Amino acid sequence: MSLLEIEKLNLSIYGLPILRDVSLFLEAGKVLGIVGESGSGKSMTAMSVMQLLPGGSEWSGHIRLDGRSLNECSEKEMCRIRGNDIGMVFQEPMTALNPVQTIGDQVAETILIHTGTSRRDAMAIAREALNRVGLPEDRFPLDRYPHNLSGGQRQRVVIAMAIALKPRLLIADEPTTALDVTTQAQILTLLKRLVEEDDMGLVLITHDLAVVADMADEIAIMKDGEVVEQGKTVPLFRRMSHPYTKALFEASGHVPERKTHEIDAAKPPVVQVDDVIRDYALPRTSLFSAPGRFRAVDNVSLKIARGENVGLVGESGCGKSTLTRAILALDSIQGGEIRLNGDLFSSSGGGPNIKSRRQVQVVFQDPYSSFNPRHRVDRLITEPFHLLDNPPTGAERRERIVSALTDVGLRASDADKYIHEFSGGQRQRIAIARALIIEPSLIVLDEAVSALDVSIRAQILDLLADLSDRLAVSYLFISHDLSVVRAITDRVMVMKAGRIVEEGPTEDVFLNPQHAYTKELLAATPILDAALSAREAREHRNSER
Amino acid sequence: MSDMSLNSRPASGLLGSALRSPSFMIGFLLTLLFVLAAVISFFWVPYDVTVLNIPNKLKAPSLEHWFGTDIFGRDIFSMIMVGARVSIAVALVAVGIGIVAGVPLGLLAAARHGSLLDEVIMRGNDLVFAFPALLIAIMITAVFGPGAINAIIAIGIFNIPVFARLARGAALSLWTRDYVLAARVAGKGQARISAEHILPNILNLLIVQGTIQFSLGILAEAGLAFVGLGTQPPLPSWGRMLAEHQTLYALAPQTVIFPGLAIVLTVLGLNLMGDGLRDIFDPRLRRAR
Amino acid sequence: ADTEVTLGAQLEPPNLDPTGGAAAAIDEVTYSNVFEGLTRFTSDGSVVPGLAESWEISDDGKVYTFKLREGVKFHDGSDFTAEDVKFSLDRINAEESTNAQKALYADIESVEVVDPSTVKVTLSKPNGSILFNLAWGDAVIVAPETAATNATNPVGTGAFKFDDWVEGDHIDLVKNPDYWGEPAKLEKVTFKFISDPNAAFAAVMAGDVDSFMPFPAPENLAQFEADPRFNVVVGSTEGETILSTNNKQPPFDNPKVREALAHAIDRSAIIDGAMFGYGTPIGTHFAPHNPAYVDLTSQSDYDPEMAKKLLAEAGFADGFTTTLKLPPPSYARRGGEIIAAQLRDVGIETEISNLEWAQWLEQVFKGKDYGLTIVSHTEPMDIGIYARPDYYFQYDSPEFQKIMEDLNNTTDPAKRTELLQAAQKKIADDYVNGYLFQLANTGVVNAKLKGIWPNRPTQANDMTSVYWED
Amino acid sequence: MLPFLARRIGSLALSLIAASIVIFLVIEVVPGDPASFMLGLNAAPDTVAALRDSLGLDAPAFVRYWEWITGMFRGEFGTSYTYKVPVGNLIADRVWVSLPLTIYALTLSTLIAFPVGVLAAARRNSPTDVSIMGVTQLGIAVPNFWFAMLLQLVFAGILRWFSAGGFPGWDAGFWAGMKAMTLPAVALALPQASILARVMRSSLLDTLGEDFIRTARAKGLSRRQALWRHAIRNALIPVLTIIGLQFSFLLAGAIIIERIFYFPGMGSLIFQAITQRDLIVVKSAVMLLVFAVILVTFLVDVTYAIADPRLRRARS
Ligand SMILES: Nc1ncnc2c1ncn2[C@@H]1O[C@H](COP(=O)(O)OP(=O)(O)OP(=O)(O)O)[C@@H](O)[C@H]1O
Ligand SMILES: Nc1ncnc2c1ncn2[C@@H]1O[C@H](COP(=O)(O)OP(=O)(O)OP(=O)(O)O)[C@@H](O)[C@H]1O
Ligand SMILES: [Mg+2]
Ligand SMILES: [Mg+2]
């Protein structure tokens, strides 16, 4: 008998079908990975198991935990099961904790709810659970509030809450998506250890194939509310019988074809950053003392030649976006200067030089918030015309719009649509079109593909590569996803705590990292092939034994 | 709450959800009723409200006088129609003052977030809030004398910080949106961005708040008129009708019930409409339904 | 029987010193209850001896010798003597005096103490009204030691002593056991201040107050009348309610226009509409219950056609626009709306503005910035104001001023009556103001409470002889 | 926490100074002369001048402002022009009436609004919720003076359970005082309760949509447990703001209600003082109210910091 059996689960919300005939099985002590694109129904499957479905949901099929059918459980019985038999960890560690309760209280609550222990005992158990997830007493006393903790630490608290009572089943819904790679690696290791120690079943939901290859014994691939393929990890990846699995696999390891760029040393660099410092003012601590400062970018210098693609990597909060904003002259800088094509663009003394501004454009991470929802596409993408002395009008304007749209693979007729009529990938294309329309020499891409599904991400990377070949535009490509950076850039810079710690041609850095931090970063990055081979070897060893 | 309009989408589909929102529909119909009464009163009323007919005073509702007659024998129904005009005009202009003065202030404060100017604007707002509204209204009328204009000013002043705060709060969260950054990258200045990107996207929020302030304005006008500081005779005003007949609660209830109901229903209508609009504009709630 | 009474009053006195302010509310609490003068009014308006037992008037009418009552004590236990009288009267005329009616006593030249119970008052010229004027609350006798603190802790000679004042709510008076005259029948009198007419109605209905005089909402009297718990009292006041006209402001400087105004007004509609029938029409500035009153109402009958004709003659065939500034009392606010409608009928448009008293005093009374206003002149026998050209009507008639001068020089009652009637006719002939009605003293009193003054010869609630009937 | 307090106290002082200047200037331009008001229709001009002099009305504006401010620091507010008693005493008496009334009304409105708001949020979209929302809409729409008159008519005029108004003073006993306050407090509280209940509901609904509620449910808390243990405290923050605002409204905005119930509170003191041009009372009384409001805002801010540990750090 399996620990968890889901049989022909069908779910609809207000009549809208969400899940169709989902069947999944999981043994104790094993990890089931569920992968699939955004909206494919991964979370809803998990919520069905928890019986925490949104209003208007109707479901049919069978869900059994240890042979006990959840179909027959009343809400009261479900309350007894949640937290006790099934623990759950959610994606967003920043909001998953109650901000006004101490972490001790929140962990102990699980225990108090389900067992008759005294508060003191519950606190003791909570303490132990926190110790287990790597939050030792001396640094993390029980009376800490969540806002004193980092994202990874909060995620540990959430995990401690879920495992406090040693549940039979743990469901983790994208538990690391919001964390940077090094923290992700720690959390995944922790989960793996807990599964082994408690002989717990783990359902791990993710969209990252590499993570799942590393973690899961069995994998289910979901698409549009259906499980399209399911099986043991290694054979599933090796065989890839379903075309969707195959597409997914290919997309996640996709490397766009690129020409190598010749650098013309005679021309001035597209952008030259010299000793830039950016301080954020901290809130005043008292009326009379001067406000404190936080140095987010610390003496950074960099150069990008015409046609060159440069990557900037580093963990969350290291100052990547701040540097971008400085290069775009969106914020004033407190030291150093920035030149575009040899002309002074901004410096610590003065504001930006408007004339140069048209040399640089940007594409942001979130395709949803990058556009004013009230404007049509033609108006959206022509916004940078504002920077031109004689903005084109009439037929010429139309022509430029059409060519920008076709450049990014959209149709001319899309110009009259509103932004909500497009998918995320299409929106990101429009964002690129907007950046291209005044033919800048540098485009800054701040996490431009991070929010996209793998298959769409692959398309956008192709597009970017193609554009850079055709138009000789330079990119400053910022991402925390090393594999993407590796795929698209010529040169890479590694940033840590506001400083650039390593720099060099991309392949060199990836193959032969010099700085300890770079090494750590690379080690923590899950890589699909490597994970698969490791698993294969392990399984092979196990079967031989 | 401040997030509601920020995800707003263009008009398409709003009409449909409006028709499906009962609170909006009830509110809209009630509001429409009073706006119509006010508009029609310009062309036609059953009886002239400036003509007194003292022998005919305090008549109970009848076929001739649907709502009865007041202390001077005037037709209460006609007075309520004309009074609607006054209430709506006073509240509308007062809200107008609040929007015209408050929204730019709020947008400016948001654009210069963290600057001294922002601080000054926000502290100024707090200061206005610190003064008890009715008292200031009384002081203003003590300085300038009672009358519709001064009532408008008094009510309007208190609308300014309401809108300034609302606009600032909403604008601040929009200023962090990527599309605003994109506009800055396109070289647009603060004023231009405020006008092109911020204002249109907080419009929904302003409309909802405007409806609510409008209803508060009607209540405030009634309150001022009740203490004798609002609109002056011979123009009828609902609040003054209540004040002038307050001693006739028992003797001639029609004189206080109908103007009172007029206030209640109008305010109710506007509030329901505001609530409905909020639901319609707020995609989060829409999804939940 | 019960010995406590709660009276409702619309206005709270700002302070309790009747010699230091004009507010009627001060007298309404203290007159005759706490403070007494040499003479005093009775309910019907006649003047009788007060703290002066008797007096003699010299033949030239200039010297009054008052014989004071003996054995009178102030509430603080000190004796009342001629010195107190001299102090009080001298204080009125002192340079730094803030007595609101100082003008009434301007003729007093000197006050002499003859002996502890005799005072000689010498006038600069004969003044037939001086005994009457001395009966006003502004001429009450106070003790030098307590004069400065009377505003908050009044010490007089009356039948009641001041006990307690909760500002904004009520004032308590208690019986003075050492009163020189007939002691009060009540142990305690409470004045409760209720400005809102609707609240007044509720308070009476709830039994919170035993009497409310004058009751601010005449429209409610019918209901009280129907209720056996209450008696409705209708008496007279000294309040001539008039449509005051700015005689210097065009077009009212034209007598024809003023005459037209007089004919455009329908008094009965105003009395009916604003006062629910309570009030006596008047045709001149004089109280109808006064024996010297002449009924001149027919001289200004309601005749809109005539009014239009007169206006046309005066060159205003198309009418004109003027201001109508109204103080707070409901007779003014309601009367104003009715008059505005009536004037509109003859082509005169009015811009109504409702003012607070302070604003009214500033704009109308002091600034004379008005066309028309409505106000009740509640001072007794105040026709003399028409002799003051700088008074806010700005009526400047040497003829009338002569009549008044003669009146002051006359002590013979018959002659005085004649002069008073001439004065009444003169202002009616000149249509100085629109004369509307004499304010009625309408009130509601618990049916078991007896002895309340039905009339108001002055602003007073004389409680000395009020008692509960079992 | 300490620097946060220092900062808030600094801005509190600045606000007070600004407020005092505004008040003084407004009082300066109010037309109408207290002296002529006191002396009435028959007064001679020199009498008025004498009174103005004795009231000290003719000193230059700056001197009067300075004396007013420094006087307040010494606890001297001057003597009322009309009442002739120290303004401080006058205001103190009223505060002892207004403050209890405000607290009474606020307590009533909170006691009503809290359970009603929670109930409506807990049963979202149920008939209970819909009818509660309907009633609260009505509660907001009804002008409070209209409602007050109705209360007075029914409970004092007809049923005679309460006196129609007035306040006997605390000397008359605690219960007598409370009884006299009941009708005005109810008239004040019901519309406020409607507003508060709506805020409570929507704030609670917002909080119920938060991720940490889902976390709590995943721990095995029932809907109700999640509501009580996690949602309410978080939802309380906007509710506190409204309560703070209501406090100021009730303290001074009750003028109309005080008139209807001829209740000797701060509102009617100021109203009366304005009509009588007893401006020395007006300016100090208004200043006191503004001070109270600013102080309450300050206290609400500090309470936030206690209710929400995040703020403690963010600001310190
Ligand atoms: N509360 C809800 N009400 C209605 N529909 C919902 C709700 N939540 C999710 N859905 C819909 O259910 C479908 C599946 O959503 P689900 O959250 O399970 O996707 P997912 O695979 O977890 O995606 P992601 O990777 O983005 O988290 C989507 O089409 C989504 O729009
Ligand atoms: N407005 C601000 N005021 C103060 N500190 C700030 C502000 N914005 C960012 N920071 C801090 O500056 C540092 C760098 O932030 P930045 O957004 O540049 O990081 P990042 O590398 O882009 O991270 P991520 O990958 O999460 O986007 C962080 O520690 C952040 O907390
Ligand atoms: Mg999901
Ligand atoms: Mg970033």
Contact check, Cβ <8 Å, C169/D36: no
Residue D315: per-residue pLDDT: 36
CB contacts, 8 Å: C359 with chain D: 31-32
Residue C39: per-residue pLDDT: 92
Contact check, Cβ <8 Å, D230/A98: yes
**How many contacts, defined by CB atoms under 8 Å, are there between B and C?**
68
Distance from chain centroid for Cα D125: 33
C383 neighbors C420 (Cβ within 8 angstroms): yes
The total number of structural domains in chain B stands at 1
Residue B284 pLDDT exceeds 50: no
Least confidently predicted of A408-422, A470-484, D43-57: D43-57
Superfamily of domain A1-85+169-252: P-loop containing nucleotide triphosphate hydrolases (3.40.50.300)
Residue B2: per-residue pLDDT: 36
In tens, the pLDDT along C175-184 reads 988 888 888 8
**How many contacts, defined by CB atoms under 8 Å, are there between C and D?**
166
Residue C122: per-residue pLDDT: 92
C-contacting chains (≥3 CB pairs under 8 Å): B, D
Centre a 10 Å sphere on the Cβ of residue A336 and count the other Cβ atoms it contains. 19
CB contacts, 8 Å: D98 with chain B: none
Per-residue confidence at D3, pLDDT binned at 50, 70, 90?
low
Per-residue confidence at B11, pLDDT binned at 50, 70, 90?
very low
Residue C235: enclosing H or E segment and its boundaries?
strand C230-245
Helical H runs in C13-111? 24-30, 82-93
CB contacts, 8 Å: B114 with chain A: 281
Chains A and C touch (3+ CB pairs under 8 A): no
Report the side by side order of strands in the sheet with A343-347.
Answer: A293-304, A271-281, A335-340, A343-347
Residue A287 pLDDT exceeds 90: no
Per-residue confidence at A285, pLDDT binned at 50, 70, 90?
low
Establish if B56 belongs to a structural domain: no
Mean pLDDT of chain A: 85
Cα nearest neighbour of D211 on chain A: A96
More confident residue, A381 or D160: A381
Contact check, Cβ <8 Å, A387/B200: no
By three-state DSSP, how is residue A372 classified? coil
Per-residue confidence at B175, pLDDT binned at 50, 70, 90?
confident
Contact check, Cβ <8 Å, A82/D214: no
CB contacts, 8 Å: C328 with chain B: 228
State how far residue B162 is from chain A, nearest Cα, in angstroms: 25
Alpha-carbon dihedral sign for residues B163, B164, B168, B174: positive
Alpha-carbon dihedral sign for residues D36, D40, D41, D47: negative
Tell me which amino acid residue B180 is.
V
D236 exposure class (CB count in 10 Å sphere: 0-12, 13-18, 19+): buried
CB contacts, 8 Å: A55 with chain B: 288
What does the alpha-carbon distance between residue B258 and residue D223 come to, in Å, rounded to a whole number? 45
Predicted model pTM = 0.80
Per-residue confidence at D293, pLDDT binned at 50, 70, 90?
confident
**What would the mean pLDDT of B125-136 be, rounded to a whole number?**
78
In tens, the pLDDT along C258-274 reads 999 999 999 888 998 88
The 8-class DSSP code of residue C219 comes to G
In tens, the pLDDT along A204-247 reads 998 888 888 888 889 999 988 889 888 888 888 888 788 888 88
Contact check, Cβ <8 Å, D3/A286: yes
Instruction: Read off the tokens for C153.
Output: 């802790």
Cα nearest neighbour of A284 on chain B: B114
Nearest 5°: CA angle at D115, between D109 and D118?
120
**What would the mean pLDDT of A341-360 be, rounded to a whole number?**
79
**What would the mean pLDDT of A332-339 be, rounded to a whole number?**
86
Q: Is C59 on the interface with D (CB under 8 A)?
A: no
Alpha-carbon dihedral sign for residues C45, C49, C52, C55: positive
Residue D264: per-residue pLDDT: 83
**String of b and e for A15-29 (b: at least 16 CB within 10 Å)?**
eeebbeebebbbebe
Q: Which of D214, D310, D313 sits opposite A90 (nearest CB)?
A: D214
Strands A4-13 and A57-65 come out as antiparallel
Instruction: Write the residue with the smallest CA distance to atom 1 of ligand 2.
Output: A280
Ligand 1 midpoint to CA D64 (Å): 69
Dmax over CA atoms of chain A, in Å, equals: 78
Least confidently predicted of A443-457, A524-538, D50-64, D264-278: D50-64
Residue B89 pLDDT exceeds 80: yes
Contact check, Cβ <8 Å, D290/B260: no
**Residue that the structure tokens 């092109």 belong to:** B196
What does the alpha-carbon distance between residue C100 and residue D41 come to, in Å, rounded to a whole number? 8
D297 phi and psi, to 5 degrees?
-60, -45
Helical H runs in D123-254? 127-141, 144-151, 174-208, 211-218, 223-226, 232-252
Contact check, Cβ <8 Å, B179/A384: no
Q: Which ligand is nearest to the CA of A312?
A: 2
Q: Which is the closest atom of ligand 2 to the Cα of A282? A: 4
Per-residue confidence at D38, pLDDT binned at 50, 70, 90?
low
Instruction: Read off the tokens for B52.
Output: 């007194």
Strands C118-123 and C108-115 come out as antiparallel
Pick from A40, A53, A223 the residue to mutate for probing ligand 1's pocket: most ligand atoms within 8 Å of its CB.
Answer: A40
Least confidently predicted of A9-23, A336-350, C331-345, D42-56: D42-56
Residue A370 pLDDT exceeds 90: no
In sequence order, what are the residues at sequence separation of 6 or more whose Cβ sits closer than 8 angstroms to the Cβ of residue C152?
Answer: C15, C16, C165, D83, D84, D85
Establish if B262 belongs to a structural domain: yes
In tens, the pLDDT along C322-378 reads 999 988 888 888 899 889 989 988 889 898 888 877 778 778 887 888 999 999 888
What CATH number is associated with residue B148? Answer: 1.10.3720.10
Q: Residues 241-260, chain D: which have Cβ within 8 Å of C?
A: 259-260
Q: Which of D51, D269, D276 sits opposite C14 (nearest CB)?
A: D276
Q: Which of D15, D252, D271 sits opposite B127 (nearest CB)?
A: D15
Radius of gyration of chain A (CA): 26
Instruction: Read off the tokens for A232.
Output: 């043991």
Classify A159 in phi/psi space as left (phi over 0), alpha (psi -120 to 50) or beta. alpha
Residue C162: per-residue pLDDT: 92
Residue D39: per-residue pLDDT: 65
Residue D310: per-residue pLDDT: 63
CB contacts, 8 Å: B261 with chain D: none
Residue A392: per-residue pLDDT: 84
Residue A483 pLDDT exceeds 90: no
Centre a 10 Å sphere on the Cβ of residue B32 and count the other Cβ atoms it contains. 12
In tens, the pLDDT along B156-166 reads 888 888 888 88
- Highest mean pLDDT among B12-21, B44-53, C236-245 belongs to C236-245
Radius of gyration of chain C (CA): 23
Residue B135 pLDDT exceeds 80: no
Residue D241: per-residue pLDDT: 77
The 8-class DSSP code of residue B56 comes to G
B-contacting chains (≥3 CB pairs under 8 Å): A, C, D
Residue B198: per-residue pLDDT: 85
The 8-class DSSP code of residue C7 comes to E
Within 6 A (CB) of ligand 1 lie A 13, 18, 36, 38-44, 54, 207
At what angle are helices B133-144 and B199-226 packed, to 10 degrees? 70
The residue among A16, A364, A372 with the most chain B CBs within 10 A of its CB, best to mutate, is A372
CATH class held by domain A271-284+291-514: alpha beta
State how far residue A51 is from chain B, nearest Cα, in angstroms: 18
Neighbours of ion ligand 3 (CB under 5 A): A 43
**What would the mean pLDDT of A177-184 be, rounded to a whole number?**
79
Residue D259: per-residue pLDDT: 81
Q: Which is the closest atom of ligand 2 to the Cα of A320? A: 21
Residue B287: per-residue pLDDT: 38
Instruction: Write the residue with the smallest CA distance to atom 7 of ligand 1.
Output: A54
Q: Which ligand is nearest to the CA of A296?
A: 2
C233 neighbors C441 (Cβ within 8 angstroms): yes
Residue C299: per-residue pLDDT: 87
CATH placement of domain D91-277+293-315? 1.10.3720.10
Question: Which value does ipTM take for this structure?
Answer: 0.78
What does the alpha-carbon distance between residue A291 and residue B232 come to, in Å, rounded to a whole number? 55
Residue C452: per-residue pLDDT: 86
Range of the structural domain that residue B188 is part of: 16-50+66-288
Query: Taking Cα atoms as reference points, which of A201, A142, A137 lies closest to residue A166?
Result: A201
Mean pLDDT of chain C: 87
Same CATH fold assignment for domains A1-85+169-252 and A271-284+291-514: yes
Within 6 A (CB) of ligand 2 lie A 280, 294, 296, 314, 316-322, 480
Q: Which of C197, C333, C341 sits opposite B50 (nearest CB)?
A: C341
Contact check, Cβ <8 Å, C203/D278: no
Ligand 4 midpoint to CA A303 (Å): 20
Residue A202: per-residue pLDDT: 92
Cα nearest neighbour of A328 on chain B: B185
Per-residue confidence at D314, pLDDT binned at 50, 70, 90?
very low
Instruction: Read off the tokens for C285.
Output: 């500035």
Establish if B232 belongs to a structural domain: yes
Residue A86 pLDDT exceeds 60: yes
Residue D130 pLDDT exceeds 90: no
Per-residue confidence at A465, pLDDT binned at 50, 70, 90?
confident
Residue ranges per domain, chain A?
Answer: 1-85+169-252, 96-166, 271-284+291-514
Q: Which of D82, D83, D156 sits opposite C202 (nearest CB)?
A: D156
State how far residue B179 is from chain A, nearest Cα, in angstroms: 4
Q: What percent of chain C has pLDDT over 70?
A: 100
Residue A527: per-residue pLDDT: 80
Per-residue confidence at D2, pLDDT binned at 50, 70, 90?
low
At what angle are helices B133-144 and D279-307 packed, to 10 degrees? 150
Percent of residues in chain A assigned helix, strand, coil, to nearest 5: 40, 25, 35
By three-state DSSP, how is residue A353 classified? coil
Per-residue confidence at B214, pLDDT binned at 50, 70, 90?
confident
Q: Is B244 on the interface with C (CB under 8 A)?
A: yes
By three-state DSSP, how is residue A13 classified? strand
Query: Taking Cα atoms as reference points, which of A234, A208, A201, A251 lies closest to residue A36?
Result: A208
Cα nearest neighbour of D36 on chain C: C361
In tens, the pLDDT along D229-270 reads 888 888 887 788 788 777 877 776 677 888 888 888 888 888
